Amino acid sequence: MADFVFETSNGEQIPVIVTTRRGVRNITLRPRTTPRREICISKPWLTPTGAALRFLERKRAWVERIFARAPQKTAVHDGMILNFLGRTVVVRHDGARRGNDFSADGMTLYIGGGADMFERRLRDVVRREFLTAVRDMVRTAPRELWPRRIAVRDTTSRWGSCSSSGTISFSWRLAFAPTDVMRYVVMHELAHRRHMDHSPEFWAYVRELYGFGVERAKRWLAAHGAELHQYL
């Protein structure tokens, strides 16, 4: 539960959570835009809360820039239009359904269950479809690159990762990126199965797997990656 509220110049009210820590000498300020928009402040044990809030106010311009660059979550509602995995669907809530299904033409996604479960069930469908799409992309690469396991996560700092144990992880929010950008990330991580670094040899192999357009995909993620967190 938030202790205070930070109101931006455009009227958005952002929760502020103040924590006191022993052994900490300075006030630290961390604006977070995902999975929730909030401001976390850590302060030394003997520092008054008022001093921490005044520190936040002095950093107002910087904090406002961070939240202005990060899009707010798109409201989830019955009848919304959702673009993911290269398709556009109308999302409808049908409480009489026990499961979640696409219409015969694939243009409508029906989400069953209670209204309170609508967003979570929709998120589950997107994650499931994303995992299927990733597996299909992996199968286009040489078999020796196939991972032992594919994990789907909700990460904020990495789109993908490859462990030495053979597990490759992806942020399911790539489902909202263009499919060629998503495929770039998949090939990038598969290339790590041969080169566990970012050497020139690694990048040459990424280009061999992906084909033309690696730099274009990288630029798209740099410019629009934050926008993928506005959904669900």
Tens-binned pLDDT, residue by residue, of the chain (232 aa): 668 999 999 888 999 999 998 888 899 999 988 767 899 999 999 999 999 999 999 999 999 988 887 777 788 899 999 999 999 999 999 999 989 999 999 999 999 999 999 999 999 999 999 999 999 999 999 999 999 999 999 887 789 999 999 999 999 999 999 999 999 999 999 999 999 999 999 999 999 999 999 999 999 999 888 888 888 8
**Within a domain: 154:** yes
Place of tokens 């499931």: 128
List, in sequence order, every residue forming a beta bridge with 28; answer none if it has no partner: 42
Same domain, 123 and 202: yes
| Domain tally, the chain | 2
Say if CB 130 and CB 85 are below 8 A apart: yes
Same domain, 100 and 198: yes
> Which residue range is the domain that position 218 belongs to?
80-230
Indicate the residue among 15, 48, 69 that finishes a domain: 69
**Within a domain: 74:** no
**Within a domain: 75:** no
CA–CA distance, 172 with 168 (Å, rounded to integer): 12
Same domain, 116 and 215: yes
pTM above 0.85, yes or no: no
Residue-level pLDDT at 220: 96
| CB < 8 Å & 24+ apart, contacts of 165-168 | 166/193, 168/192, 168/193
Q: Which amino acid is at 224?
A: H
Residue-level pLDDT at 227: 84
Same domain, 189 and 121: yes
Q: What is the CATH number of the domain that holds 166?
A: 3.30.2010.10
CA–CA distance, 48 with 52 (Å, rounded to integer): 7
Residue-level pLDDT at 1: 60
